[in-house]
Amino acid sequence: MPRVTIGVPVYNAARYLPVALDALRVQDHPDFEIVISDNASTDETWDICQRYAVADPRIRLWRNERNLGGHANFGKVVELASGELFKWAAYDDICRPGFVSACVAALDAAGPRAVLAYPKTVLIDEDGVEVGAYADKLDLRDQRAWKRLSGLANNISLCHAHFGVFRIEALRRTGLIRPFLSSDYTLMAEVAAIGEIHEVPERLFLRRVHGASTRQAGNSAAAATTWFAPEGGGKSARSPRANMLRQTVRVLRGHPGGLTNSAAFLGTWFARRARVRLGALRRRLSGKPMPALTESGA
């Protein structure tokens, strides 16, 4: 069995998939497999997957008979994984060669208390041109779960840490990606409740920002939610932020220290929202522009 499984859930991914797979195949970690689950794509995605599987015996393929939704496909690659460590990889992002080995080294150095390690992020555009560094700020090493959850609520924005390397035993104790908008926030809260999250200082993750991404394309919350769950998923698009918070609190109550952890997460979340609104009001009154997403503009 390989030590690390890289799970690649795909749907109509032909434009960027070869670049993503090329980057995964040259990872310098010596012991990994790549598991691809195709969600009944209607473009050339499945042909690309088959060509890569013929060329590289480390690649295993699965194809759903119909589109089960993005959340189910993310879960499928976890189900198929055989490694003790696991990483999700999106079809349109790029991992630099040291990504997996650096995260595995961080988990090995920390021991069982760390359940997820992820590297720093660089944003790129649809052509692969660097937009700028992005500060995830989710290095959550406190031994107290409520402190980790407070740190998560205070900093999470664009969610990249869940593309890091997990201990699969811990990941399988969560609900993974769920069929509602921003369920990656809920997943990260569950992970923070279970154990520490470590940030690797090297910038090894290139996150692609492009118009075909569900929310980046300016699509409605209902359309984005339908990506997660095509059959009736749009119902949860009403008040998506409030729904995410409700779901997160419900999930946290199922873990040890649930009430304390939920209070820490919610208290910090609403305090942060108040600061954001106050800052936006001050910028409007002063005529200053909104800050950019990259570190240089923060």
What's the average model confidence in pLDDT over 178-197?
Answer: 96
pLDDT band of residue 4 (cuts 50, 70, 90) is very high
pLDDT band of residue 210 (cuts 50, 70, 90) is confident
Contact yes or no for 10/18 (Cβ under 8 A): no
Residue 32 has pLDDT above 60, yes or no: yes
Helical (H) or strand (E) element with 276: helix 258-286
pLDDT band of residue 217 (cuts 50, 70, 90) is very low
SS3 assignment, position 86: strand
Q: Which residue has the higher pLDDT, 126 or 229?
A: 126
Considering the domain 4-208 in this protein, what is its CATH number? 3.90.550.10
pLDDT band of residue 219 (cuts 50, 70, 90) is low
What local confidence, expressed as pLDDT, does residue 213 receive?
61
Nearest CA-CA partner of 163 in 270, 266, 91, 241: 91
Q: State the chain's mean pLDDT as an integer.
A: 89
Give the distance, in angstroms, between the CA of residue 17 and the centroid of all CA atoms in the same chain. 17
pTM: 0.88
What local confidence, expressed as pLDDT, does residue 287 receive?
66
What local confidence, expressed as pLDDT, does residue 187 receive?
97
pLDDT band of residue 21 (cuts 50, 70, 90) is very high
What's the average model confidence in pLDDT over 266-288?
Answer: 78
| CB neighbourhood size of 296 (10 A) | 9
Contact yes or no for 142/37 (Cβ under 8 A): no
Spell out where the chain has E strands.
4-10, 32-38, 59-63, 85-88, 94-95, 114-124, 130-134, 165-167, 196-208
